[in-house]
Structure formats: C-alpha cells, structure tokens
Amino acid sequence: MLAKRIIPCLDVRDGRVVKGTNFTGLRDISDPVELARYYNDSGADELVFYDITASAEGRKLFTDILRRTASEVFIPLTVGGGINTVDDFDRVLKCGADKVSVNSGAIANPALIGAAAKKYGDQCVVLSMDVKRVNGQFRVFAKGGREDTGLDALEWAERGVGDGAGEIVLNSIDTDGVKQGFDLEMLDALAARVSVPIIASGGAGNMEHFAELFTHPGIDAGLAASIFHSRQVDIKALKRYLREKGVEMRL
Amino acid sequence: MIAIIDYGVGNLFSLACSFRSIGAETEITRDPARIEAAERIILPGVGAFGDAMDKLTATGLIPVLKREAERKPFLGICLGMQLLFDESEEYGPHKGLGLIPGRVCDLRADLSDKSLKVPHMGWNSLELRDDPIFRHIRNGEYVYYVHSFYAKDCAEHTIGVSQYGNVSVTGAVRRGLVYGTQFHPEKSGDTGLRILRAFVEL
C-alpha cells in the first residue's frame, strides 16, 4: 500500500539552511547539501528546498546547491520560493527539481498554475499556501505570511486544483513554530474540498503529533523543519514509531 | 555506454546523475548511430501518452528503437514504460510501440474506493517476481510512483506489482530484453539505485 510521507523542509538563504519561528527570527543551521544527504540516509521520503533569498547572487547559489543535491540524493525534490513565472519552473527543473511549489507567485498571477501544469504536467505543480484564521475564515496570506490577501483558502485551493495543481502544501500560520501539533481542523477542511495529495505543515513538535496527523485519512504527508534540523525528532526513529502505530511507512 | 533517449520529454538530469552515482556512463542522445553503439537503452518520459508518442515519432527513432530492443537491454521508465505497450486510452486512443502486449488505462476508473487519490503519487511497496533486475532488492521494498494511468492485460509479462486500493498496479514488466518500470528508479532512493545497478549488469 501507499506509504504516508515524512518530509523535511530546508529553508535556504545565501546558501545556508535557516528556520524561523512564526517566520521571524531566522537562525542559521547547516549546509543544505550535507543536511539533504543526512535526511536521505535517515529515510526522508522527499525533500523540500525553499529559497528565501532575495538577491540574484543568492539565487545563483541556490540553484548550485540544488544541482549538487540532485546529483547525489535520489529521492523526490520539491523546490519553492521565488517562483513567479514559467521560466522559474524551467530554471529549477533543469537543476534536478521534480516538483515546483508556487505560493505568492500564483497569488500575483493565478494563470501561472495552469500554464505550468500544461507545460510540465499536474504532478509537477504544488500549490503551497500559508493560511491563518481571520474572523472565522481560513485566509490565504502572501509574502511569507505577512500580507492578508483576502482570499478564502478553501476556494483558493479548489481553484488551484482545478487549474492543475497536483498537490497542496497547507502551512497553518496559526500553528507554525508553536510545536503543539498540526492544524487538524484546517487540514480536514481542506481534505473535504480537494482530491489531490495534501502535505501538512506547521506545528509538529514531537512524534505523537505525526501519529495524530495520520489518523486523518485525507492527509498524505507531514512536513517539518526545525524539529528535524535540531534533531529533536529523528526521522528514522519517527518512521519506526509510526509503523508500530499502524501507519504505512517506508522503512 | 547507456543511451538515454532524448525526444524532448521530461527532465533527464536526475536520471543521468543516478547512473553516474553507480559508475555507469550515459549519453543523452537522439542520434541513431549512438543508440546503435550503446550497450543499453533507457526510454524516459513524463507527461501525456499521445504527446510523447508524437514527439518520439517526430525524431524518426521508432524503427531504430524497435530493432535495438531485440538486441540489448532496454528500459522504459514511467511514461517510457507505458509507451512500450500496444495502446493507451489517455486522451486517446493512441497507439504505442507494441513491444509488450497490453494497454494503458485510467487508474481512477478502476479504483472502487473513490476517496483514493489520483495521481497515485508516493512510495508503494513492490511485490516481485523472480527476475535478474531485482537481484539486489528484496520483496516489498518501496519505490516511488507518480502516475494516473497504468498498464493492464499484461499479466504474462508483469514482474512487479504494487497494491493501490483494489487495483494491482503494474509496477514492472519484462519481455525478452525489454523492461519497463512504472515507478521512477532514479527517485526511489537506494532501492532504485540497486535496480539500476542490476539493469547495468544484465
């Protein structure tokens, strides 16, 4: 049977991995290629590289890192951050990315999802959303969680899937960095609306949070950063634990 | 040298890197002379069947590939495997290469549990039949899939399956020297590399 996936996320700026809490107070952790190799050896099912660089030199550094990672780590790689045009898809796919995640770029230009899906296939396009509750509504935020777009997250997701997004990463700003568990209410609401795989992000603090996540059948994968980078949770141990709990895991 | 067929479909960077990591030399090519000189052939592919078949036809390589498939180990990966069959119903019908009897059908239509997601995306365990290409892996190891259509009516040539709901997804096929994997060995971690190594040793 199809296994649930455990996905570490590497936020990369100027060639280094960083991870913040609630998107602020970034701190440097490690070399991305080394970390990617470590996660591959630990049994990570996929890697997400998120480019949070603003400068052109940083972007060049990022694609170099991506190319180096893809030439020695043979699991699926998803790349996000700074993806605003179909040319941006092309740039990272050529460096070994398998999937490309769009966030603010799709908000600014909703036609991007359809254009990329047509060119590279639905399986290649991941819609990533930063979502926060505002007046009882799940609201999409742009610019790394700083700007309320006014978009309803569930409608936005449905539209993205209709246009060709093959997977959704739902990052709850409400639970991100708090380490009290994934935002199950938000995730369930999304799973009821779309039929593509859903990757849960934001809130994982321990192994139990993943076990709890996977009791929700509509969720396909759990993504986290700091708890893996800090080795607070070891992926190999996590996957063994989840399998003992009856969750289908690749070991 | 392993010829990776370049017909404008998909991203060949990872594929070439995965072979390099196991010490095998590859060449991404559409030159018939290089394909004839190669010891092995890889037919990659992502996207839609009809479009890929049109592009392959446009290269003029189909007669070369059909001839070489009789002579040397040949591996179709993902859509490259689907192209080996007689036909596909994806936006179709479309004719395939006809190297392996069978047809490619919509996975969603055959799933009885409609809550199961399509594409079938992620890691699934592979139940093996005895074959040299699996000599370095054990039964039940996980491989990485991404697809919405799957091959059927090919039981005689099926050497690996993965279960998805009620459907036995054709994971790997073989007829003579012609192999195909629906999953991506170049994205299936160490398990995938061991399958590629066995292919290189064939």
Q: Determine the average pLDDT of the residues in A146-162.
A: 97
Closest in A71, A122, A221 to B17, CB measured = A71
What sign results for the dihedral spanned by CA atoms A78, A79, A81, A85?
Answer: negative
User: Is A71's CB within 8 Å of B21's CB?
Assistant: yes
- What pLDDT, on a 0 to 100 scale, did the predictor assign at position A20? 47
Question: Does any domain span residue A249?
Answer: no
Q: What is the pLDDT of residue A24?
A: 44
Which of B68, B70, B184, B201 is labelled catalytic? B184
List CB contacts (< 8 A) between A1 and chain B: 124-125, 163-164
- Bridge-partner residues for A17, per DSSP? A12, A30
Q: Single out the catalytic residue among B87, B141, B186, B201.
A: B186
Express each pLDDT in A29-64 by its tens digit.
578 898 999 999 999 999 999 998 878 888 889 999
Q: Which of A1, A45, A121 sits opposite B46 (nearest CB)?
A: A121
The model's pLDDT over A186-198, given as tens digits with 9 standing for 90+, comes to 999 999 999 999 9
Partner-chain contact B146 A123, CB within 8 Å: yes
One digit per residue, the tens of pLDDT, for chain B of length 202 reads: 999 999 987 778 999 999 999 999 999 999 999 999 999 999 998 888 998 999 999 999 999 999 999 999 999 999 999 999 999 998 889 999 999 999 999 999 999 998 899 889 999 999 999 999 999 999 999 999 999 999 999 999 999 999 999 999 999 999 999 999 999 999 999 999 999 999 999 9
pLDDT at A25: 46
Instruction: Provide the CATH topology of domain B2-201.
Output: Rossmann fold (3.40.50)
Q: Which residues of A touch B163 (CB under 8 A)?
A: 1
Report residue A19's pLDDT band, with 50, 70 and 90 as the boundaries.
Answer: low
Q: What is the mean pLDDT of chain A?
A: 92
Residue A207 confidence (pLDDT) above 70: yes
In a domain, A123, yes or no: yes
Band (A21; pLDDT cuts 50, 70, 90) = very low
The model's confidence at residue A76, banded by pLDDT at 50, 70 and 90, is very high
Are A1 and B18 a contacting pair at CB < 8 A? no
Does the pLDDT value for residue A23 go beyond 60?
no
pLDDT at A16: 86
Whether A251 is covered by a domain: the verdict is no
Q: Which domain holds residue A146?
A: 5-244
A–B interface: beta-carbon pairs under 8 A: 87
Confidence class for position A231, pLDDT limits 50, 70, 90: confident
Total count of domains within chain A = 1
- Does any domain span residue A186? yes
pLDDT over 70 percentage in chain A: 96
Is B32 part of the contact surface with chain A (CB cutoff 8 Å)? no
CATH of the domain at A32: 3.20.20.70
Across A187-214, average pLDDT: 97
Distances, alpha carbon A228 to alpha carbons A114, A170, B3, B92, in Å? 34, 19, 39, 45
CB contact under 8 A, A1 and B124: yes
